[in-house]
Amino acid sequence: MALEFPLGRDVFARKLRVREMTFWRRDFVETSGTGRGDIIVSEIAPPKWIADVTLARYNNRDADELQALFEAILPHRLFHLYNIRRPFPAADPDGSELGNSAPLLHAIGSDNVSLRISGLPSGYTLTRGDMLAFNRGDRRSLHRIIDTVSANSSGLTPSITVTPALKTGTVTGVRVFLERPTALMMIAPGSFAAGVTRKMLSDGCSFQAIEASV
């Protein structure tokens, strides 16, 4: 079956045997100074999620299959990737409490950094550091939660502060993903290393993923 891009989470991300991952937000800013020695910081572009990934050892057959996926992605095709350190909300570490619930983006704050979620189980807790994602048309937004909150008996949360700020095109009523929430990413040019083969095993494959332009 032909691959469809962007590669879905289950097609690519969940097939990776990750040894190490650093998942972080890169801010694009410039700085200048004043005559009094104060530092002025100005944002020159929206922040992007970055993932630095080193994979575990593979047998050579599996390594070749994985490398074929990378070569299909390179140099600029997109895929979904999630932070393995927080695949589920901290208070629901295997997603069993969330179950078949279908949370929705209920409201967007006028400050552009807050939102409310509906459709959660009664009392469901979201903890500072949890991540959530939702679609904006054919784009994807991934955010980290700053506040610890619990849904009321109707499954509606109070206002939740998130980072980064909500992007243009964010609308209410869309599905909110809390289980392995992904960013839409590409491989940073020049970052892919295929690893080294020793006898029947290959080791050291690594890459950097950067969030696709928004």
Q: What is the pLDDT of residues 130-181, one digit of tens each?
A: 999 999 998 999 999 999 999 999 999 999 999 999 998 999 999 999 999 9
Q: Is 132 helix (H, G, I), strand (E, B) or coil?
A: strand
CATH number listed for the domain at residues 1-82+183-214: 3.30.200
Secondary structure letter of residue 49 according to DSSP? E
**Domain regions of the chain by residue span:** 1-82+183-214, 88-179
pLDDT at 213: 80
Q: Residue 40: is it exposed, middle or buried by C-beta count within 10 angstroms (0-12/13-18/19+)?
A: exposed
> Which parts of the chain have pLDDT scores under 50?
none
For residue 152, the SS3 value is coil
Say how many CA atoms lie within 13 Å of 128 toward its Cβ.
Answer: 3
Distance CA 98, CA 126 (A): 11
pLDDT for 214? 63
Same fold, 1-82+183-214 and 88-179: no
Q: How far is 88 from 94, CA to CA, in rounded Å?
A: 6
Could you tell me how far CA 56 lies from the centroid of its own chain?
21
Check if CATH label 1.10.3470 holds for domain 88-179: no
